[in-house]
Structures are given as structure tokens and as C-alpha cells.
Amino acid sequence: AYNRDMQMDKEPLFDSVEIIKTELHVLTKLLPTIKLNKANIKKQLEDESLYATDLANYLVKNKVPFRNAHEIVGKMIKESLAQDKKIRKMKDRELKKYSPLISEKVIDKIFQ
């Protein structure tokens, strides 16, 4: 019975290998044709809301309940947009209003 069980696993495994081979073949044709719009990528990376999850995760790792971390980061982003001010440009004094755990050093590390 043990050997029969092992044989039953082989068919799906071989099918999976064939599917992956086909996908890799397609990717080798596709990847060289991709053209990246570097200016657009750079512009999109400046959107600070992109880093919201990372900042919230940092707070959670430092014992802030997720609900509070989400609220803190949401407030930071909302206020920075309303004031047309980048979070990256805020000084420690401004950042500490949101949480004593957030500093320029933390922002620099997360928003790199």
C-alpha cells in the first residue's frame, strides 16, 4: 500500500513539472521584450502611501496593536496629504505627535 501511494503522487508531480517548463519557455520569450518606464517607476515610488504597510508593521512589531498602528499611519498619510508635506521631510518633533516610536531614523529606514 505504501508503494502504491507513492506512485499516485508521481502523475500530478510530472504534470506540474511540464507546466512549469512551458511557463519558463514563455517567460524566456516575454522578459527580453519588456520595456520599463523608469521615470514612471521613480514617480510611483515617491508615493508615501506605498510604505504605509511597512510603517504599520514596524509599529506592530514594537507592541502597538494593529488597529492603533493602522490608525496612526492613516492619520499621518492623511495629514501629510492635506498639508502637502512629505512624511520623509518631517522632523522628530512632528513625527512624535503620531507615536513615540516613530523618528526620522525609522522613517529613513522604512522609506528608502
Domain limits at 52?
47-110
Indicate whether 53 and 98 sit together in one domain.
yes
Tally Cβ neighbours within 10 Å of residue 23: 10
Q: Is residue 101 part of a domain?
A: yes
Indicate whether 51 and 106 sit together in one domain.
yes
Judge contact between 103 and 92, C-beta under 8 A.
yes
Indicate whether 65 and 94 sit together in one domain.
yes
pLDDT at 1: 52
pLDDT at 111: 87
Indicate whether 29 and 69 sit together in one domain.
no
Residue ranges in the chain modelled with pLDDT below 50: none
pLDDT at 71: 98
Domain count, the chain: 2
Indicate whether 86 and 60 sit together in one domain.
yes
Indicate whether 52 and 26 sit together in one domain.
no
CA angle 82, 76, 56 (to 5 degrees): 150
pLDDT at 6: 65
